[in-house]
Structure formats: structure tokens, C-alpha cells
Amino acid sequence: MSNELKEGLASQHVLNQTYDFVQQEDIEGANTLTVGVMVGDKRVLQYTVDITKFVPNNSEPMTNVVLAASKVEKITPEVEEFATSFEWKIIK
């Protein structure tokens, strides 16, 4: 992501894109998907989605649906603060 984008918002965009990405036929047979969010040269969030635990749910925020099936391996304080304010359900 561009340096102009705040870390939390960049992470939210990528989590929302992940929601659609894990539903593609192209990744059938994959067990996990690791995603790293970069803002400029800085990795601000990294998580691994367990594809077998991912259950699409249109009545929940896409971020929480993705995070429910994910383990967060790296998160910066700015992203963690953003996540707390938006009540993301993070599993570390």
C-alpha cells in the first residue's frame, strides 16, 4: 500500500480483499494462506488464514469473518489500536 494510507485502513482494505480471495476456485486444495500487509517498506500486519475454518457470512463484517479463521503473527501498535476501535476479533 502507499505510504499515504494509514496502517489501520490499509490493513482493513487487505482483510476485506482476503474475504473475496479465499473464495476463489484457484486456491482450492490450499490449507492455509499467509497475507502480509505492507505500507511502504514496513510490514504492519501479517496473518495466516486456515482455509478449512473460513466460513463466508454476509451478516458479519468481512474483517471479522477473515480473522475468525486466521492467526495474526505480526501487528503494529497503530494497527492494533485501529483494530480495537473497530472491535476486530484478533487471534494471536
Name the pTM for this structure.
0.94
Query: Dihedral angle at the C-alpha atoms of 46, 35, 72, 51, nearest 10 degrees?
Result: -170
The pLDDT value recorded for residue 13 is 96
Q: What is the DSSP string of 4-38?
A: TS-HHHHHHHHHHHHHHHTTSGGGTT--EEEEEEE
**For residue range 41-78, what is the model confidence (pLDDT) as tens digits?**
999 999 999 999 999 999 999 999 999 999 999 999 99
Conformation bin of residue 83: beta by default, left when phi > 0, alpha when psi is -120 to 50 = alpha
**Three-class secondary structure of residue 45 per DSSP:** strand
